[in-house]
Amino acid sequence: MNASVAQAGHPNLRPIGPGVDTIAAEQAVQDLLIALGQDPLTDPGLVDTPRRVAAAYAEMLKPKPFRLTTFPSEGYDEMVVARDIPFNSLCMHHMLPFTGVAHVAYIPHERIVGLSKLARAVEMFARRLQIQEGLTTQVAGCLQDNLAPKGVGVVLEAEHMCMTLRGIQKPGTRTTTSALLGQMREDPRTRQEFLSLIHGS
């Protein structure tokens, strides 16, 4: 069971982990700037930078809890697909952003989910320090745990600033990750249908 799930059936999804200590974060940013040879104590352009950086990270790491609203499927058993859901997250190795789009699909069994909740699930799991592979499996696991569908498919495409701004420095490089469960994984025709739908063919 996913750690964000409060109860089966109609779970509340909540952020995982302790809250942000903005005062400590602000001091840490100030110390980092000094260690990097900057002067946040007297430089007018940097005096307020520690507060701003701490507030920015607090915002990026604090998802809003929500209820994953589900409804009876009323016999609908065809694939439901939400394409091109924008997301932003933070690489846990460098604390630099990675940004892109998510494609999320499932095949209902007895329950369907409110369409906006697919995007909300992506947003909630994106707001933490992690790797793209983990985000992909978290979203898929959330749908599997809460809907018990016949199949789940999640594909994320993202550009990582740790590849763009540092290291190999290759702007425009996109990384694609996928998580396929149930019929999406086991049935080649279903998997192909999913891939065709998310690519618009």
**Residue 42 above 90 pLDDT?**
yes
CATH of span 69-198: 3.30.1130.10
User: What is the pTM assigned to this prediction?
Assistant: 0.85
167-187 residue pLDDT tens: 787 888 899 999 999 999 999
Average pLDDT over residues 12-25: 68
Q: What is the band of 20 on the pLDDT scale with cuts at 50, 70, 90?
A: confident
Rounded CA separation 128/174 (Å): 20
53-105 residue pLDDT tens: 999 999 999 887 888 889 999 999 999 999 999 999 999 999 999 999 999 99
- Per-residue 3-state assignment (H helix, E strand, C coil) for the chain: CCCCECCCCCCEECCCCCCCCHHHHHHHHHHHHHHCCCCCCCCCCCCCHHHHHHHHHHHHCCCCCEECCEEECCCCCCCEEEEEEEEEEEECCCCCEEEEEEEEEEECCCEEECHHHHHHHHHHHHCCEECHHHHHHHHHHHHHHHHCCCEEEEEEEEEEHHHHCCCCCCCCCCEEEEEEEEHHHHCHHHHHHHHHHHCCC
Q: What is the band of 119 on the pLDDT scale with cuts at 50, 70, 90?
A: very high
Domain ranges of the chain: 22-60, 69-198
**Residue 50 above 60 pLDDT?**
yes
**Residue 8 above 60 pLDDT?**
no
